Amino acid sequence: YLGAIEAGGTKFVCAVGDRNGNVRERVTFPTTTPEETMRHVIDFFRQYDLSALGIGSFGPVDLNRNSATYGYITSTPKQKWANFNFVGEMKRHLNVPIGFDTDVNAAALGEHLWGAAQGLDSCIYITVGTGIGVGAIVENQLLHGLTHPEMGHILIRRHPDDPFPGNCPFHGDCLEGMASGPAIEKRWGKKGAELAGRTEVWELEAFYLAQSIANYILILSPEKIIIGGGVMKQEQLLPNIRRHVIDFLHGYVQHETILQHIDEYIVSPGLGDNAGICGALALAIQALDKQ
């Protein structure tokens, strides 16, 4: 068996599966303290004979293999998890190769292998939920650099009619500060799910997401853009986003995929809610093969 963990700020998904991305068993635990949550995680995996483990984790995380804190969750606002040695703790209990990356990089990898970006050299996976995160495959590899990208925090232009100051503790009105689920709730005074009928809400949301996607296109030029997360449950959003992306690019990127096939270019996850956990499975495969 291959093991997989999708570690989120509200819940942990643990699964075992195979090389083809099939999930055999899957459980969910709430994210409480590292002690409690990890006990559940370890107890789950103890039932199986694992050959490798993949972890897609909320962050920021340290992915630098030469660093003393490789495999740690680093400076997260979730105090109890700050400086938690995630890979170290798993290694202590399960002596198998471990692949470790961000939750969104894992999801991008899952979609690349088995989902909406199969057969392409590049894609990005955007989640719009409690936060906004983006993972990327470029030239057939997960994108890393100095640290992992933090594309949810890019600076954007505010809409001239939007007085909301933004709720990112670092930047105020960065993308996440203006367009995450909690930002929507704070701006309009209601949860996103209760604002379904208010077209102006989703028009503005699409404006911010599309603007950021236009910049991701100009900077990374991905071959597929996959967008999921709780906020995207609003089905009116995706068509609005596509329309605004075309507007923002204004004919600059002369490619038929954008100009004529935008409906197949900016899409929902092919793996649905399983992108993250399948991606963690893919990280396990990579760890096994690299061994």
Which residues of this chain interact with a copy of itself, rule CB under 8 A?
A: 60, 74-75, 121-122, 134, 138-139, 141, 143-151, 153-158, 170-171, 211, 214-223, 248, 250-255, 257-258
Q: How far apart are CA 205 and CA 256, in angstroms?
A: 26
Min CB(15)–ligand ADP separation in Å: 16
Q: How far apart are CA 65 and CA 220, in angstroms?
A: 25
| Sheet containing strand 123-128, strands side by side | 141-142, 132-138, 123-128, 225-228, 266-267
Decide which of Zn ion, ligand ADP, a copy of itself, none touches 191; Cβ closer than 5 to 8 Å per partner kind: ligand ADP
Contact 99, 84 (CB under 8 A): no
Min CB(188)–a copy of itself separation in Å: 23
Min CB(236)–ligand ADP separation in Å: 10
Structure tokens at 52: 């490798």
Which one, 170 or 255, has the nearer CB to Zn ion?
170
Reported for 157-165, long-range contacts at CB under 8 A and 24+ positions apart, including other chains, are 157/211, 159/204, 159/207, 159/208, 162/187, 162/204
Please report, for residues 5, 214, 278, the alpha-carbon distance to residue 18 in angstroms, rounded to integers and kept in the order given.
14, 36, 10
Per CB under 6 A, residues contacting ligand ADP are 8-10, 127, 129-130, 181-182, 185, 191-193, 229-231, 233-234
Q: How far apart are CA 243 and CA 214, in angstroms?
A: 11
Decide which of ligand ADP, a copy of itself, Zn ion, none touches 182; Cβ closer than 5 to 8 Å per partner kind: ligand ADP
Question: DSSP secondary-structure letter at 157?
Answer: P
Asked if omega into 34 is within 30° of 0 (cis), the reply is no
Query: Residue from 148, 153, 224, 242 that binds Zn ion (CB under 5 A)?
Result: 153
Which one, 103 or 173, has the nearer CB to Zn ion?
173
Which one, 151 or 284, has the nearer CB to a copy of itself?
151
Min CB(10)–a copy of itself separation in Å: 22
How far, in whole angstroms, is CA 154 from its chain's centroid?
Answer: 15
Residue type at 160 in one-letter notation: P
Which one, 158 or 243, has the nearer CB to a copy of itself?
158
Which one, 8 or 56, has the nearer CB to ligand ADP?
8
Q: How far apart are CA 34 and CA 14, in angstroms?
A: 15
Which one, 58 or 248, has the nearer CB to a copy of itself?
248
Min CB(152)–a copy of itself separation in Å: 8
Which one, 89 or 150, has the nearer CB to a copy of itself?
150
Burial readout 203-226 (b: 16 or more C-beta within 10 A, e: otherwise): ebbbbbbbbbbbbbbeebebbbbb
Decide which of Zn ion, ligand ADP, a copy of itself, none touches 9; Cβ closer than 5 to 8 Å per partner kind: ligand ADP
Decide which of Zn ion, a copy of itself, ligand ADP, none touches 250; Cβ closer than 5 to 8 Å per partner kind: a copy of itself
Binders of Zn ion among 158-217, rule CB under 5 A? Answer: 168, 170-171, 174, 176
Q: Is 47 exposed, middle or buried (0-12, 13-18, 19+ CB in 10 A)?
A: exposed
- Give residues in contact with Zn ion (CB under 5 A): 153, 168, 170-171, 174, 176
